[in-house]
Amino acid sequence: MAGSGAVTRNTLRQQIADALRDEVLAGRLRPGQEFTVKQIAEQYGVSATPVREALVDLSAQGLLDSDQHRGFRVHEFSVDDYRGMVEARALIVDGIFLRIAEHGSDAGRSAALVSVRRRAEEAGRAARCGDLDILVGYDLRFWRELGALAGNVYISEFLHRMRVQCWVFAVPYLRRHGGLDEVLWSGHGELVDAVTRGDGEGVRQVVQAYNDHALAWAARLERARP
């Protein structure tokens, strides 16, 4: 029975962490917003222990800051932080996706690309329609599934963490921006096409355009500072 309880608690811990991450990604928990373990426990109707563990997990992922006396607050990323995230992922994304492209004809990878293509279609459609709520979920799944094709869990987890942090920074700004269809990157399908063809140069060009798009947006945010 003790083992069953441990599984239940760990599952609850993950469920709470996932729910709070979704709240941050949706912008309902805003940068700088403070809360306590007690408040979250009461909100979800659970005990304090799995909540505290979930909040510690999210702090380790860089999404929350903890204060011994005040509880937790949503981390506030700066434009410089965002630029650093983009540059960090750029250092490895080119190489990792070129590697995927080189093995694009592998049967297992080809089967996995069918699922990735569906994610790409949904993410691209959401971006072109300016539907941020739909885009964030599909975009994260797209990059995670595509990154997993490299066969290195450490790299794919790193990329996923960078993507989550990028969205945590971007969502509050994007929600205040009109005409999102003109701002959001929608090249997911082009990247899958290049990977499927085994076109290394095509992959490099799409990824470069993606990074350039992100850095250009960061530069616009900086210029708009009062």
Asked whether residue 191 carries a pLDDT value surpassing 80, the answer given is yes
Asked whether residue 10 carries a pLDDT value surpassing 80, the answer given is no
Q: Please name the amino acid found at residue 142.
A: F
Structure-token match 């250009």, residue found: 216
Closest CA to 135 of 148, 147, 119: 119
CATH 1.20.120.530 domain span(s) along the chain: 79-223
pLDDT of residue 32: 93
Question: Rounded to the nearest 5 degrees, what angle is found at the Cα of 48, between the Cα atoms of 46 and 54?
Answer: 90
Tokens describing residue 84: 């650093």
Asked whether residue 103 carries a pLDDT value surpassing 70, the answer given is no
Q: What is the pTM of this model?
A: 0.86
Which tens digits make up the pLDDT trace of 37-74? 999 999 999 999 999 999 999 999 999 999 877 899 99
Give the ranges where 61-199 is alpha helix by DSSP (H): 79-102, 107-129, 132-148, 153-175, 188-197
> Packing angle between helix 188-197 and helix 79-102, nearest 10 degrees?
30
Tokens describing residue 15: 């469920």
Asked whether residue 164 carries a pLDDT value surpassing 90, the answer given is yes
At 92, is the secondary structure helix, strand, or coil?
helix
pLDDT of residue 3: 38
Asked whether residue 2 carries a pLDDT value surpassing 50, the answer given is no
- Residues 121 and 81 sit within 8 Å (Cβ to Cβ): no
pLDDT of residue 112: 83
Per CATH, which fold does 2-74 belong to?
Arc Repressor Mutant, subunit A (1.10.10)
CATH 1.10.10.10 domain span(s) along the chain: 2-74
Q: What CATH number belongs to 79-223?
A: 1.20.120.530
At 178, is the secondary structure helix, strand, or coil?
coil
